[in-house]
Structure 1
Amino acid sequence: MILDDDFVLKSVNLEVNTDDFIEKCQSIRSKSHIKLNKKNIKAIGEAILCRNANVLFLQDNKLSDISNLKQFSRLTHLYLQNNDIVFMDGFQNLVCLEKLYLGSNSISVVENLENCRELEELHIGTQRLEPTEKMIFDPRSIEALAECLLVLNCPGNSISSMKELEKLTSLEELDISCNKLNEIDEVCSSLEKMTSLHTIACEFNPICTLRNYKGKMVMAMPSIKTFNNVDVTRGMYAFYKALTRDKEKKKAKATSSQEYVTMDDIHDIVKELPTGLREVVNRTEDYTAHIDLINRNEFTNK
């Protein structure tokens, strides 16, 4: 099936030779919402009757070529979930688009959104990708969406880094669960740059196996409200803050204690020496003087 005017007329059971044909056509052209989901549509042709639509439902079809979407320049909401889309073509003229639903297709590159500067929500999760593929984001599209995109849902797309998303400074909600994020420091660095982000879902990533990954991520998001569908209260934030501070103190203390050789260190080392060598060391007139010298040298070298 091809989405064109003939198809639209047939979908509403309108015959050309009927008395009310013109009136019905005008009625279709005035509709703001056009529902054509589950119609076995494979391509988009010339559909003049639908060009005034603000909301177009095309989910659950068999669309692979969407380049002719450019004719629907008044769209604000577009539903394209569960089709066979591989390439994001046809969005160049959709300058009024506010919400775009592209989940469950075969898209590996998020692109051609440079003119969609009103886009607030992008739902593009669970793409049918090859085992070696991962979703990437065209920097030009990300830059164009930096100040408008508020919601990004991209779970289940083998994404291994959040670095490409850092410029989305207006983003408030992010679902990046079921991906392949494995570098907690890089993730936290990206989160620190996404200053408007207050809600995140990141379950089922490799980083989730790390101890205290939640604390590190929460502390990287000063505006955090919800983490993995759980509200972050003031008490929880204070707990993670105290925990992080305590770990830093322990780490600093451990580092400091390793800077100098102590008498306890020497005694422990001597105990591990073979008997003969241990006796030689014990007969040394004053090996503590040597240790003191080592410490002074360490301090001087710093």
Structure 2
Amino acid sequence: MVRLTLDLIAKSSNHFRRKMSHSLSQHLRSLTHLNFSNKNIEDIDDLSVCRNLTVLYLYDNQITRICNLDFASNLTHLYMQNNNITHIENLSNLQKLSKLYLGGNSITVVEGLERLSELKELHVENQKLSPGEKLLFDPRSLLSLASSLCVLNINNNGIDDIRDLVVLKELKQLCAADNKLHDVEELEDVCSHWPELHRMDLSGNPVCQRHKYRDRLVTVCKRLEYLDGKQINDLSRQFLINWKASKESKKKPKELGNMNQQLMAYPLSVDFNMAENLHPGYDCISNVLHKWKPTQSRRTCVKVHSEPPELGSEAARRAPDIKLPMRPLNNMADSAGIHRHVTP
């Protein structure tokens, strides 16, 4: 098993060989960049002497755990892609870290990033997942990165939903190609929360086959410059925005017309208690008025008795008639406008 140790660092340091006047400890303390990529390293030993380390290259190795990096409080760049890492852990002390490369590992959950408030780029593409498995995101880590993360690479991770990423308000570049995203409405909603988004790659997702997929995202992402590797110019964007506005303006009259048709489908109701107070004979025509239909275009008159006589009495046969115009009653106040006309 190959371990990354201080001795291994000293033996491989050409700079140290050229300056033998310095002690090993002085040399290790002065190191800012360390490159041990593709060295079959499986584990990291205690490197706390290298306290000024800012960039560490450990990609293309056999490392299974992120460990013994607590000393590197000045580390800004960490390259550990293409290893055998299964968990993101032991990074809490790396509070100056701005770029983290963990692609090509076996990570199933993006977590353990709660203390990395300076992280600008996160690369977790091409994880070696089991069939049917997808990369997940810990909400606590996402909230911690909400105001700092600008670049996110999640290519080829079986992802079918990115609504959890909506909290990343400062996101400028999203690489999510070769996943399983299919809902264009979901993408529109999420992208509307990323006002700084300049580049986005969704190629290889089922959503790319949806009708007007590109046009819809271009109109939502006001500052998007590249989508799926193709540039978006201001003229094209403005044309699509105007087209969308014109389409929505045409929908409004149609929607209002449909609403009016729905309203006319229901008969109007009248409060006949108010009508009865206006004239004592109104209760005789209540049944007739309730049968009135709004679709009736012409005005009709109904003859009723001016006084409420008893049915079949002599007074009923001799009582004067009243003609009432029948018309739509829009409200209670309109009912007060009904006048009676007494025939001679």
The answer to whether TM tops 0.5 is yes
Please give the alpha-carbon distance, in whole angstroms, between the structure 1 residues aligned to 2:95 and 2:193: 27
2:166 counterpart residue number:
166
Q: How does 1:203-242 map to 2 (within 5 A)?
A: 203-242=203-242
Q: 2:47, 2:68 within 8 Å by CA — same for their partners in 1?
A: no
Q: Secondary structure at the match of 1:147?
A: coil
Q: Percent identity?
A: 35
Q: How does 1:150-165 map to 2 (within 5 A)?
A: 150-165=150-165
Q: How does 1:74-85 map to 2 (within 5 A)?
A: 74-85=74-85
Going from structure 1 to structure 2, the CA distance change for 1:55 and 1:253 (only over 3 Å counts) comes to: same
Q: 1:14, 1:21 within 8 Å by CA — same for their partners in 2?
A: no
Q: Secondary structure at the match of 2:122?
A: strand
1:148 counterpart residue number:
148
Q: 1:5, 1:48 within 8 Å by CA — same for their partners in 2?
A: no
Superposition TM-score, scaled by structure 1 size: 0.79
Please give the alpha-carbon distance, in whole angstroms, between the structure 2 residues aligned to 1:84 and 1:183: 32
1:91 counterpart residue number:
91
User: Which deviates more from structure 2 when the two are superposed, residues 127-136 or residues 76-85?
Assistant: 127-136
Q: How does 1:4-43 map to 2 (within 5 A)?
A: 4-12=5-13, 20=20, 23-43=23-43
1:189 CA drift (Å): 0.6
Matched, 1:70 2:73: no
Q: 2:10, 2:24 within 8 Å by CA — same for their partners in 1?
A: no
1:178 counterpart residue number:
178
What are the ranges of 5 or more consecutive residues in structure 1 without an aligned counterpart? 262-289, 294-299
Going from structure 1 to structure 2, the CA distance change for 1:243 and 1:46 (only over 3 Å counts) comes to: same
Q: Specify the code of the residue in structure 2 equivalent to 1:112.
A: G
Q: Specify the code of the residue in structure 1 equivalent to 2:237.
A: Y
Please give the alpha-carbon distance, in whole angstroms, between the structure 2 residues aligned to 1:135 and 1:220: 26
Q: 2:4, 2:45 within 8 Å by CA — same for their partners in 1?
A: yes
Q: Give CA-to-partner distance per residue, 1:184-203, whole Å, 9 cap, x none.
A: 11111111112221221111
Q: Specify the code of the residue in structure 2 equivalent to 1:78.
A: L
Q: Give CA-to-partner distance per residue, 1:133-167, whole Å, 9 cap, x none.
A: 11111111111111111111111111111211111
What are the ranges of 5 or more consecutive residues in structure 2 without an aligned counterpart? 263-292, 297-328, 330-344
**RMSD across aligned positions (CA):** 2.9
For the pair shown, the structure with the greater C-alpha radius of gyration is 2
Q: Secondary structure at the match of 2:41?
A: coil
Superposition TM-score, scaled by structure 2 size: 0.70
